[in-house]
Amino acid sequence: MKGFTNVNPKNLTQAVTLLSQAQESGKKAAIAGGGSDLLGMIKDDLVSPDLLVNLKSVGGLDKIESNTSGLKIGGSVTLATLSQHPLIRSKYKALAEAADSVATPQIRNTATLAGNLCQRPWCWYFRAGFPCFKAGGRKCYSVMGENQLHAIFGGGPSFIVHPSDTAPALVALDASFHVIGPAGERVASAAEFFILPSKNAATENILQPNEILAEIHIPAPPQQTKSTYAKIMDRATWTHAVISAAVSLEMSNGVCKRASIVLGGVAPIPWPLPKVGQMLAGQKLTAQLAAQAGEVAVSGAHPLAKNGYKIPLTKALVRRTLLSLAA
């Protein structure tokens, strides 16, 4: 692995200063959360930082706080901690299940929530070093190439799918993302945080240079809210979602008051299905309605040459996931 300097800031202000100073002196800096993905990218020469800003040393960034208005999760909380947290498992189940579905026990023990949300795409062209949009180039090799795992929604000019499992769950749970940078703190909704390649194909989110995703806030769900995260993989474990669905339903006497459905693995961002939410609101969740929801879920999809199978898979996943919550 190429040489670099690791620095251990004590707080976020120091971390931002270190990032800014590196930029001013013409050095490349990278933020290390859990570091597992970053080290892999350094070994593969996809990034070559001179400075690693290690967030594990930042005090308090690995805390989960809860009160009546909701939950505050530090960016450095590990996926293992999230998946095992009793309150998250009961009231914010989609997040616990999403975190628990990521990779392997070893990865979940080091990987952080912020790192999972900000990880770079796992498109095989990008990871193999092709000079694609995501690597700062001017081409998406999947369009005419091997696009089995690529986007059916929101693609163009890049057709990556967003790799995070926790991202669709957080969009479904109406989370907000707190970002710290040289200009101070700013807040974006989970949905606003992720951006389509049509807006900026070189990145996946709104983070500017020297900004850090510091904290995630989730509002307390109303009474009678149930949520879940369902993930389809091309093997039983240890991979990204071919398709996933995060669903949050607010129920009242068997009737769905409010529904939020967000897909993973189908688009360059967590892909919300507002039309499905609208058709479910005020309805009793029957098998017939769930099947209709599956049909509506894929309206507007544009499959590429080799990923058309994602259409029936999406229909089935939406139908099954809704019914699993209605049961």
Partner 1 sequence: MKPISRRLFIEETGLGILSTTVLPSVTGSPVEAQVNSPAVSAPRTKITIKVNDVSHHLEVEDRWTLAETLRDHLELTGTKIGCDRGECGACTVLLNEKPIYSCSYLSVWADGQSIQTVEGLAHGDHLDPLQQAFIEHDGPQCGYCTSGQLMSARALLNHNPSPTAKEVRRALSGNICRCSNYNRYVESILAAAKRGQKHA
Residues engaged in binding partner 1 (CB under 8 A) = 1-6, 32, 35-36, 39-40, 43-44, 52, 54, 56, 80, 103-107, 109-110, 237-238
Question: Which CB, 163 or 197, lies closer to partner 1?
Answer: 163
Tell me the three state secondary structure of residue 312.
helix
CB atoms < 10 A from the CB of 45, how many? 10
| DSSP 8-state class, residue 194 | B
Question: Which CB, 4 or 220, lies closer to partner 1?
Answer: 4
Question: Which CB, 33 or 70, lies closer to partner 1?
Answer: 33
Q: Write down the least CB distance from residue 263 to partner 1, Å.
A: 24
**Ramachandran quadrant class, 271 (left: phi over 0; alpha: psi -120 to 50; beta: rest):** beta
Q: Write down the least CB distance from residue 107 to partner 1, Å.
A: 6
Question: Which CB, 240 or 315, lies closer to partner 1?
Answer: 240
Query: Are the C-beta atoms of residues 29 and 182 closer than 8 Å to each other?
Result: no
Question: Which CB, 5 or 252, lies closer to partner 1?
Answer: 5
Query: Are the C-beta atoms of residues 272 and 260 closer than 8 Å to each other?
Result: yes
Question: Which CB, 1 or 327, lies closer to partner 1?
Answer: 1
Token reading at 13: 């202000």
Q: Look up tokens 């628990």; give the residue.
A: 100
Q: Write down the least CB distance from residue 54 to partner 1, Å.
A: 6
CB atoms < 10 A from the CB of 274, how many? 11
* 67, β-bridge pairs: 70
Give kind and range of the element (H or E) at residue 284. Answer: strand 283-284
Question: Helical H runs in 173-273?
Answer: 190-193
- Cα 180 from chain centre: 19
Q: Beta strand 51-54 with 5-7: parallel, antiparallel or unpaired?
A: parallel
| DSSP 8-state class, residue 239 | S
Question: Which CB, 104 or 286, lies closer to partner 1?
Answer: 104
Q: Write down the least CB distance from residue 5 to partner 1, Å.
A: 4
Question: Which CB, 13 or 109, lies closer to partner 1?
Answer: 109
Q: Write down the least CB distance from residue 81 to partner 1, Å.
A: 10
Question: Which CB, 3 or 86, lies closer to partner 1?
Answer: 3
Token reading at 118: 């900000």
Q: Write down the least CB distance from residue 17 to partner 1, Å.
A: 19
CA nearest to 226, candidates 256, 202, 195:
256
* Contacts with 278 (C-beta within 8 Å, 6 or more apart), sequence order: none
Pairwise CA distance, residues 161 & 310, whole Å = 12
Q: Write down the least CB distance from residue 145 to partner 1, Å.
A: 23
CA nearest to 185, candidates 81, 268, 75, 77:
75
Q: Beta strand 64-67 with 176-181: parallel, antiparallel or unpaired?
A: unpaired
Q: Write down the least CB distance from residue 3 to partner 1, Å.
A: 3
